[in-house]
Amino acid sequence: MNVTVRPGPKSLHQADFCAEIHAAAFAGAGIRAWSAGEFSELLDRPFSLLISAPGGILLAGIIDEDAEILTFAVHPSKQKQGLGAALLKVLMDHCRCRKVTKCILEVANNNYAAVKMYERFSFKQIGVRKNYFQTGRGFVSALVMEKSFLNDSDLA
């Protein structure tokens, strides 16, 4: 599996790629996909980190000792093949190298596969954001999850 890590400013081509994957991944849930313009703005920020592979993206922000997964998407044709776990493992390894102490994220509470994957990587629920994600069928709450790298023995 060819996984690419790109810190810092990115090209418009990368923003288009991210928007395409994001749209395909979230279409079934009825969640509005991010545009290429929105990705371009985030990708140009110095704290951004794009981890990508054919069919998947993980966009994170890392500032000092804190990381946040901003968005994470795998094309439906590539789901359930280990791509999401591979992208997340690359981020976890990168966080360890950068001496990050914690990583946070929000995930839809009805995205059971994603929640289970995050739990395999030792993410723990630390809160709930009620009615956080708007879908075509109303609102869905988000679980706020955190992984601590202090005393980290997880090598998932």
> Catalytic positions, please?
106, 118
Q: What is the DSSP string of 60-112?
A: EEEETTEEEEEEEEE-GGGTTTTHHHHHHHHHHHHHHHTT--EEEEEEETT-H
Nearest to 74 by CA among 53, 104, 92, 89: 53
**Adjacent-strand bridge partners of 128:** 143
Give the pair of three-digit tokens for residue 131. 């009615």
List the 56-63 sheet strands across, edge first: 4-7, 48-53, 56-63, 66-74, 102-108, 138-148, 124-135
d(CA 66, CA 111): 24
Give the list of residues 6+ apart from residue 54 with CB closer than 8 angstroms, or none. Answer: 2, 78
